[in-house]
């Protein structure tokens, strides 16, 4: 049970995190982002359950089309066997060239049919991963104006500066919540790799994990600054 991510555990963690944010910062934009991420987590888990199951309508359609292709191939083989042995060499070469072209097109058709279900699932997974990537950027926007250096020099604010009413403790908790939301976003993306062995899905998940890791590192730099401010205040006291 500790060798794979559990969707229900991620969903439970997301629910608790959303409740913590709402209790600490009721009515805030970050609490709404947490609620949206929870909704997206439920949608992602539902999509994953659907992607894990065989797509029987597609498989039945592929089977029917495969039979048609096989029948066409048999007809082609019969036509080749029926070539008049008295054909001139040029006419025989034309017949062989036509047969080779047909075989190539049949091979392409077979490959297209065999990979149809995989491509449908890949498209659905990439669509969901795109939503997760967008949420990661939304989370980053909410921490963008949370500048801990203003705690050291509040007089540097300009008329256009955002209002900052949080205490040092509240600002640290706010940034920590942003980091946790990014972590959950990354784990939701990683769930798709457990059920889809696809290179494009792997690249998309890696991009999301790189994005969330970079954003989280930037947030923790701010938290370190807050801790430094706290240590200075304790030393001064």
- Between CA 102 and CA 197 the distance in angstroms is 32
- Between CA 205 and CA 208 the distance in angstroms is 5
List Cα–Cα distances, 201 to 4, 182, 187, 221, 222, in angstroms: 17, 19, 14, 30, 32
Query: In 3-state terms, what secondary structure has residue 28?
Result: coil
- Between CA 35 and CA 15 the distance in angstroms is 8
Query: What are the phi and psi torsion angles at 165 (to 5°)?
Result: -110, 0
Dihedral sign for Cα atoms in the order 183, 184, 190, 194: positive
Cα–Cα nearest to 18, from 222, 180, 220, 183 = 180
pLDDT for residue 227: 83
pLDDT for residue 106: 66
Helix, strand, coil percent values for the chain (each to nearest 5): 80, 0, 20
For each of the chain's 237 residues, which pLDDT tens digit applies? Answer: 677 889 999 999 999 999 999 999 999 999 999 999 999 999 999 988 888 877 777 778 777 777 776 776 676 666 655 555 555 555 556 656 666 676 677 677 677 777 778 888 899 999 999 999 999 999 999 998 888 777 666 656 667 666 777 888 899 999 999 999 999 999 999 999 888 888 999 999 999 999 999 999 999 999 888 888 777 776 765
Going along the chain, which residue ranges are E strands? none
pTM for this structure? 0.78
List Cα–Cα distances, 32 to 183, 194, 212, in angstroms: 17, 29, 19
Dihedral sign for Cα atoms in the order 3, 7, 12, 14: positive
- Between CA 40 and CA 147 the distance in angstroms is 28
With contact defined as beta carbons under 8 Å apart, do 5 and 191 qualify?
yes
CA–chain centroid gap for 222, Å, is 27
Query: Tens digits of per-residue pLDDT, 164-180?
Result: 778 888 999 999 999 99
Query: Tens digits of per-residue pLDDT, 204-231?
Result: 999 999 999 999 999 999 988 888 877 7
CA–chain centroid gap for 20, Å, is 25
- Between CA 212 and CA 144 the distance in angstroms is 14
Residue 26, number of CB atoms within 10 A of its CB: 8
Domain ranges across the chain: 7-52+118-151+165-236, 56-116
């Amino acid at each position: 049970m500790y060798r794979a991510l559990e969707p229900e555990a991620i969903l439970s963690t997301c629910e608790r995190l959303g409740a913590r944010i709402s209790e600490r910062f009721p009515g805030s934009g970050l609490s709404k982002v947490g609620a949206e991420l929870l909704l997206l987590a439920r949608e992602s888990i539902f999509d994953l359950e659907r992607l894990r199951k065989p797509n029987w309508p597609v498989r039945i359609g592929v089977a029917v089309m495969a039979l048609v292709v096989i029948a066409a191939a048999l007809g082609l083989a019969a036509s080749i066997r029926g070539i008049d042995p008295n054909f001139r060499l040029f006419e025989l070469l034309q017949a062989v060239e036509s047969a080779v072209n047909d075989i190539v097109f049949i091979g392409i058709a077979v490959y297209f049919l065999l990979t149809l279900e995989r491509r449908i699932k890949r498209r659905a997974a990439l669509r969901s991963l795109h939503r997760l990537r967008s949420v990661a950027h939304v989370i980053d926007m909410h921490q963008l104006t949370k500048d801990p250096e203003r705690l050291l020099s509040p007089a540097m604010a300009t008329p256009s500066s955002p209002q900052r009413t949080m205490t040092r403790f509240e600002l640290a908790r706010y940034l920590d919540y942003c980091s946790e939301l990014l972590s959950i976003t990354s784990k939701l993306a990683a769930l798709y790799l457990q059920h889809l062995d696809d290179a494009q899905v792997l690249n998309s998940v890696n991009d999301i994990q790189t994005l969330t890791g970079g954003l989280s590192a930037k947030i923790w730099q701010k938290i370190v600054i807050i801790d430094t401010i706290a240590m200075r205040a304790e030393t001064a006291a």
